[in-house]
Chain A
Amino acid sequence: MEILVTFLLGAILSFAIFMYVLLDGFDLGIGILFPFIRNSLHRKTMIAAIAPVWDGNETWLVLGAATLYGGFPIAYSTILPTLYMPLIIMLAALVFRGISFEFMFNAQKTLKLWQFFFSLGSSVAAFCQGLALGTFVQGYSEKMLLISSGHYHWFTPFTITTGIAVMCGYALLGSTWMLKKTEDDLQNILYDKAKWALIFVVFFLVVVTLWTPQVDINIVTRWFSKPNFFILLPLPLLTVIAVAWLWRALSQKTEKLPFYLSMFIFLFSYVGFAMSVWPFIIPHIVTIWQAAAPLDAQLFILCGLLVLVPVLCFYTAYAYYVFRGKTSPGEEHY
């Protein structure tokens, strides 16, 4: 019973984080793409496309924090201080980005400035999320948990690489999502950007995959021992298929398929990551079973989550449905 409850909570936590990565991923990606989109009308279209949904996307991040906290308080109160600087910089960047976003609608003379900050904020936030991810994959030692923020374990060549990797991944999500929302000129540009993003994503996927065993030997044994190897084999294979298919879809200028395929690339990488760290919630030190809150607290949270997550998925989907179709720049107010 307890195992099932904890497992479900862990699954919902993973789901919330994944939803955040996907949804805020594409709208952060829009900001990351900005330096490569020069035309101001194009930029406005991109902004208008995410305007109705970005608040909701960011809320998944809060749900992630809340579920981690409610379900696994030890993990929340231990991991967060160890990621102090990357998280704080990420938050400051998200604040700045959100504010720039709001101000863009009211600015005239300073529009360019806010676009710049929007882009900078998006990129820094994505980079910091990558830093946090890299730190997590590197794993922890007991000593680091004590006063870990004094170390720069979150700023190593490996974490910087994962930081850039996440930026590229978000750029891929952003550009493929925008394909559904645009036409003509901008869409053509985005096909091009999406291809470039894909090339970088593949590059970094390979680099990070080859590098990970160097930073954490346990992951090698996890993946290359029998029978794990054969059970896990489909993951890299599926990723390769998704990448190839995405390349073809982009070359053939298919509108909707690329975003779904990008989602799958993210999903496979995410599952691969989960397989590598499972069952730890603080790598090498604390498992999800150890970090879990007492049973009745878990149950209480789980009840709420099981009832309400489907509901909120439903109305989130409804909001996306309402704003479906092509966006034109400033469409909403003419």
Chain B
Amino acid sequence: MIVEPLSVFLSRAQMAVTLTMHIIWPSINIGLALFLCIMEALWLKTKNPLYLQICKFWMKIFALAFGMGVVSGVVMSYELGTNFGQFTLAIGQVLGVLFVYEVLTAFFVEAGFLGIMLFGWERVSPRMHFFATLMVMLGTFVSAFWIMSANSWMQAPTGAHLVNGQFVVDSWMGAIFNPTFLHRFTHMVLASYLTCTFFIAGISAWYLLKEKHMEVAKTCFSFALWAALLFTPIQFFVGDAVGLLVHQYQPLKTAAIEGVWDTQQGAPLVLFGIPSEKQEKNLFPIQIPYGASLLNTHQLKGTLIGLKTVSSEDRPVVLPTFFGFRLMVGIAVLFLAVGILGLWFRYKKTLYAHPWFLKACVLMTPFGIFATLAGWFTAESGRQPWVVYGFLRTSQGASPILAKQVGISITVFSAVYLLAMGFFLYYFSQVIKKGPPPLDSKDEKEPLVIGYMHGVGE
């Protein structure tokens, strides 16, 4: 079946838009759910209302982000079929099954307990409420498990073989626990933790600068900086391990990441440069000798395969792969610096006393999201031209739909998402401006009531 190239291109663009719009929210919420669990556990243990206040405040933001995540996620579950029917047909046995398990073990858990978590403060006991929060956290975590399994399978398909254009699974364990899965899953979960960490740090730093809600802000800021100090180094190790696996299973992706055009031993690390797909070389490179080989093979003279070993239609999309990777690592380096500085200031007992440091943290609020997106662009552009690596080309996976229609839908979705994003930012800033709900000790009931619905009755 021949599908118009323009239709394929638009379908891919639409998928990219949808995926980009979607992954923002889970990457905030996987971390935020864990944070809420910790804070609620602290509240149950210490009965200090400060922790309850923190819980309620961040739950508002969780709710906003969760709503965005649900609606963009529902779109994806159908868009795969509408725009990439051939792809979904070919890997139905693998992806379909993982997808069913994700819905059953994650989506319903999240959605079922979310209502209780957000609105149930007065209706269930504190323990039951904590259980609900815990289940929401588990739901987000398990969801990442299945999605990373499915995506990793597309990068390195194992445990299945092709029969008449369809993958038939030989071993479910082999398919689910495909070779790059556990590393990439850990990498993504840590990315979410870091995204959320800097999200919390940034917003708390803003309060500290404005000298508002100081108690809440200090607690959250301090917590976030501990988290940054803990998670960033781990992420470097995990990221390195993922890099080794990428080189093992997708050497051409590594070539695109490192800008290696000719196969070479001891390839240099290109710190900066502009890879030109036309001239098949890097323009204006700044290089560290042996760097790329050392990072990807852990040997100075390790061999890296060059992009030129295959014809141009078999190469990944180099630019987003190359720059996405640099952006991701660059941000990680910044995160590490913040973590270490935080520790130093803590030691000096001046953690909250450096306006420039706080301002830097405010500026970095969305950097975790940027890094996560950059990482995904690296992973997905680097997988091209394959949708199932080495087996099925993206162009063969597309549905036979008319470019005109995809044109309409991508316009509609882009407009809706832009609007949604704009308004999300607006309401998000309103929630931030309003700050944590006040705790009124006179009214016994008040602290138990979530401020999520403030504004409805006003």
Which residues from chain A contact B124 at a C-beta distance below 8 Å? Answer: 322
Q: What mask results when residues 223 to 265 of chain B are scored 1 for a CB within 8 Å of chain A, else 0?
A: 0000000000000000000000000000000000000000000
Select one of B96, B109, B114, B115 contacting A293, CB under 8 A. Answer: B96
Select one of B107, B169, B420 contacting A59, CB under 8 A. Answer: B107
- Residue pair B85, A78 in contact (C-beta under 8 Å): yes
Give the segment of A68-76, A169-177, A228-236, A264-272 that binds chain B. Answer: A68-76
Closest CB in chain A relative to B384 CB, distance in Å: 21
Closest CB in chain B relative to A177 CB, distance in Å: 16
Which residues from chain B contact A71 at a C-beta distance below 8 Å? Answer: 96, 100
- Residue pair B67, A102 in contact (C-beta under 8 Å): yes
- Residue pair A88, B400 in contact (C-beta under 8 Å): no
Q: Judge if A133 is at the interface, Cβ distance under 8 Å.
A: no
- Residue pair A332, B453 in contact (C-beta under 8 Å): yes
Closest CB in chain A relative to B387 CB, distance in Å: 13
Q: Judge if B412 is at the interface, Cβ distance under 8 Å.
A: yes
Cβ-closest chain B residue relative to A324: B123
CA distance A224 to B251 in the complex (A): 64
Cβ-closest chain A residue relative to B401: A149
Cβ-closest chain A residue relative to B82: A80
Q: Judge if B172 is at the interface, Cβ distance under 8 Å.
A: yes
Select one of A58, A95, A102, A297 contacting B169, CB under 8 A. Answer: A297
CA distance A59 to B172 in the complex (A): 25
Instruction: Point out which of B86, B111, B452 has the most chain A C-beta atoms below 10 A from its C-beta.
Output: B111
- Residue pair B169, A296 in contact (C-beta under 8 Å): yes
Q: What mask results when residues 115 to 128 of chain B are scored 1 for a CB within 8 Å of chain A, else 0?
A: 11011101110000
Knowing A55-B115, A92-B416, the reply to whether A108 touches B97 (Cβ < 8 A) is no
Q: Judge if A316 is at the interface, Cβ distance under 8 Å.
A: yes
Q: Judge if B105 is at the interface, Cβ distance under 8 Å.
A: yes
- Residue pair B413, A69 in contact (C-beta under 8 Å): no
Q: Judge if B344 is at the interface, Cβ distance under 8 Å.
A: no
Q: Judge if A37 is at the interface, Cβ distance under 8 Å.
A: no
Residues facing A in B90-141 (CB within 8 A) are 92-93, 95-97, 99-105, 107-116, 118-120, 122-124
Cβ-closest chain B residue relative to A147: B400
CA distance A78 to B409 in the complex (A): 19
Q: What mask results when residues 41 to 60 of chain A are scored 1 for a CB within 8 Å of chain B, else 0?
A: 00010011001110110110
- Residue pair A98, B172 in contact (C-beta under 8 Å): no
- Residue pair B119, A51 in contact (C-beta under 8 Å): yes
Cβ-closest chain A residue relative to B124: A322
- Residue pair A88, B81 in contact (C-beta under 8 Å): no
Q: Judge if A220 is at the interface, Cβ distance under 8 Å.
A: no
Select one of B104, B111, B412, B450 contacting A88, CB under 8 A. Answer: B412
- Residue pair B104, A305 in contact (C-beta under 8 Å): yes
Give the segment of B71-79, B182-190, B206-214, B329-337 that binds chain A. Answer: B71-79
Q: Judge if A67 is at the interface, Cβ distance under 8 Å.
A: yes
Select one of B81, B112, B401, B409 contacting A312, CB under 8 A. Answer: B112
- Residue pair A319, B113 in contact (C-beta under 8 Å): yes
Which residues from chain B contact A101 at a C-beta distance below 8 Å? Answer: 67
Cβ-closest chain B residue relative to A307: B104
- Residue pair A305, B100 in contact (C-beta under 8 Å): yes
Q: How many A-B residue pairs have CB under 8 A?
A: 259
- Residue pair B70, A55 in contact (C-beta under 8 Å): yes
Instruction: Point out which of B89, B92, B105, B455 has the most chain A C-beta atoms below 10 A from its C-beta.
Output: B92
- Residue pair A81, B108 in contact (C-beta under 8 Å): no
Q: Judge if B68 is at the interface, Cβ distance under 8 Å.
A: yes
Which residues from chain A contact B313 at a C-beta distance below 8 Å? Answer: none
Give the segment of B32-40, B298-306, B347-355, B423-431 that binds chain A. Answer: B423-431
Which residues from chain B contact A309 at a C-beta distance below 8 Å? Answer: 104
**Chain A interface category by residue count:** 35 or more
Closest CB in chain B relative to A165 CB, distance in Å: 22
Knowing A78-B85, A80-B78, the reply to whether A69 touches B95 (Cβ < 8 A) is yes
Which residues from chain A contact B78 at a C-beta distance below 8 Å? Answer: 65, 80, 87, 91
**Chain B interface category by residue count:** 35 or more
Select one of B119, B120, B401, B454 contacting A81, CB under 8 A. Answer: B401
Closest CB in chain B relative to A226 CB, distance in Å: 40
- Residue pair A149, B402 in contact (C-beta under 8 Å): yes
Closest CB in chain B relative to A39 CB, distance in Å: 14
CA distance A102 to B77 in the complex (A): 21
CA distance A65 to B401 in the complex (A): 20
- Residue pair A294, B93 in contact (C-beta under 8 Å): yes
Cβ-closest chain B residue relative to A9: B100
Which residues from chain B contact A293 at a C-beta distance below 8 Å? Answer: 92-93, 96
Residues facing A in B1-23 (CB within 8 A) are 1
- Residue pair A96, B82 in contact (C-beta under 8 Å): no
Q: Judge if A5 is at the interface, Cβ distance under 8 Å.
A: no
- Residue pair B74, A88 in contact (C-beta under 8 Å): no
- Residue pair A62, B456 in contact (C-beta under 8 Å): no
- Residue pair A146, B400 in contact (C-beta under 8 Å): yes
Which residues from chain B contact A318 at a C-beta distance below 8 Å? Answer: 112
Which residues from chain A contact B405 at a C-beta distance below 8 Å? Answer: 84-85, 149
- Residue pair B453, A48 in contact (C-beta under 8 Å): yes
Which residues from chain A contact B458 at a C-beta distance below 8 Å? Answer: 108
- Residue pair B120, A80 in contact (C-beta under 8 Å): no
CA distance A95 to B416 in the complex (A): 8
Q: Judge if A63 is at the interface, Cβ distance under 8 Å.
A: yes
Q: Judge if A105 is at the interface, Cβ distance under 8 Å.
A: yes
CA distance A296 to B77 in the complex (A): 23
- Residue pair A84, B82 in contact (C-beta under 8 Å): yes
CA distance A79 to B75 in the complex (A): 16
Select one of B67, B112, B456 contacting A330, CB under 8 A. Answer: B456
Which residues from chain A contact B413 at a C-beta distance below 8 Å? Answer: 88, 92
Which residues from chain B contact A73 at a C-beta distance below 8 Å? Answer: 88-89, 92-93, 96, 166
CA distance A301 to B103 in the complex (A): 12
Knowing A77-B88, A312-B112, the reply to whether A105 touches B107 (Cβ < 8 A) is no
- Residue pair B92, A61 in contact (C-beta under 8 Å): no
Select one of A65, A97, A294 contacting B77, CB under 8 A. Answer: A65
- Residue pair B456, A76 in contact (C-beta under 8 Å): no
Q: Judge if A273 is at the interface, Cβ distance under 8 Å.
A: no
- Residue pair A107, B455 in contact (C-beta under 8 Å): yes
- Residue pair B73, A62 in contact (C-beta under 8 Å): yes
Which residues from chain A contact B449 at a C-beta distance below 8 Å? Answer: 332-334
Known: A58-B74, A105-B455, A305-B100. 4 other contacts (CB 8 A): A61-B74, A66-B77, A73-B89, A322-B120
Q: Interface residues, chain B, CB within 8 Å of chain A?
A: 1, 63-64, 66-68, 70-75, 77-79, 81-83, 85-86, 88-89, 92-93, 95-97, 99-105, 107-116, 118-120, 122-124, 166, 168-169, 172, 399-402, 405, 408-409, 412-413, 416-417, 420, 423-424, 427, 430-431, 449-458
**25 pairs, A vs B, C-beta closer than 8 Å:** A47-B456, A53-B115, A63-B104, A63-B108, A70-B96, A71-B96, A73-B88, A74-B89, A77-B89, A81-B85, A84-B399, A88-B79, A88-B82, A91-B78, A94-B71, A95-B74, A96-B420, A107-B427, A293-B96, A301-B96, A304-B100, A305-B104, A323-B123, A329-B457, A333-B450
Q: Interface residues, chain A, CB within 8 Å of chain B?
A: 44, 47-48, 51-53, 55-56, 58-59, 61-63, 65-67, 69-71, 73-74, 76-81, 83-85, 87-89, 91-92, 94-99, 101-108, 146-147, 149-150, 293-294, 296-297, 300-301, 304-305, 308-309, 312, 315-316, 318-319, 322-323, 329-330, 332-334
